[in-house]
Amino acid sequence: MKRLLLVSLILVLTLALSGCAALNILQPNIVVTDDLGREVRLERVARRIVSLAPSNTEMLFALGIEEKVVGVTDICDYPAGATAKEKVGSFATPSVEKIVGLRPDLVVAASLHRTAGEQLAALGIPVIVLNAESIQGVLANAELLGRVAGAERGAQRVKRQINDDIRIVDERLKTVTNEQRPLVYYEVWSSPIMTAGPNTFLHELITRAGGINLGATAATDWPTLSLEELLTRQPQVMVYGHAAETVEQVKQRPDWGSIPALRDGRVYLVDENLILRPGPRIGQGIRLLSSRLHPDLWR
């Protein structure tokens, strides 16, 4: 009787193990194409993820999989839980040694992490590079991360929230004519004077928020301007995100007083993390910009 029971148990275990093996054979790897056009293959849904960019960290948290994030960079500061994660170095120069020490099965990087990414890939660690340059790119990245991390529902929720924010903006702007759209100078840097060109994320955001980007006709993505050029263009609204100067200090810049944006008090310091990070809060960023460009529509 005991012998028969033992044989039966062995038979059941054999069938179970062979079934698992068959399942593994039938179950395909996860294959995605990142923003560098590289095909990245994962053997299974990622369980330990290192994020090398604040926008990627925000997206992973927004997907509801913060427990899978085991490492971030020094400047990954949102949401609050991100600051408690293990640090792997700076955004520009993350430590490959620290990353490897966290035993990730996926690293989510940005375009500037090419060297670190190649080193990690050579060690057999999958690296996905995300570099969204448009709102559609942000939505696509949410879906991609949802797929590789097993958070498809979270991805749909994030996409829905972004699209809902944009629809609210579109509804507010539906009666705004081209003539009512203000000329917007977004100051990327003050010395030299730098703004956003036509092929940038900022250009799309300014346009979707109801403005006309001063750099829309520039020949480069990040054009520099002389003060004379800026005075000639006469922007009606100035927006900036680097808080080195207060709004009052900007208004006191020598020789800038004839610019309508300064003269009329339409200089706005905004949370640049909402504007510049191509992450899950980008819909909020468009709403924020629109409320500055068309305050009457948001009262």
DSSP characters for the chain?
-HHHHHHHHHHHHHHHHHHHHHHHHHSPPEEEE-TTS-EEEESS--SSEEE-SHHHHHHHHHTT-GGGEEEB-TT---SGGGGGSPB-B-SSSB-HHHHHHT--SEEEE-GGGHHHHHHHHHTT--EEE----SHHHHHHHHHHHHHHTT-HHHHHHHHHHHHHHHHHHHHHHTT--GGGSPEEEEESEETTEE---TTSHHHHHHHHTT-EETTTT-SSSS-EE-HHHHHHH--SEEEE--TTS-HHHHHT-TT-TTSHHHHTT-EEE--HHHHH--STTHHHHHHHHHHHH-GGGG-
pLDDT at 3: 52
Domain extent listing, the chain? 30-159, 176-298
| CATH tag for 30-159 (out of 3.40.50.410, 3.40.50.1980, 3.40.50.300, 2.60.120.200) | 3.40.50.1980
Fold for domain 176-298? Rossmann fold (3.40.50)
pLDDT in tens, 144-185: 999 999 999 999 999 999 999 999 999 999 999 999 999 999
pLDDT at 244: 85
Same CATH fold, 176-298 and 30-159?
Answer: yes
| Number of other CB atoms surrounding residue 122 within 10 Å | 8
Consecutive 10-residue averages of pLDDT for the chain (299 residues): 47 44 54 94 96 98 98 96 97 96 97 93 96 96 97 98 98 97 97 95 97 97 96 97 91 94 96 94 97 96
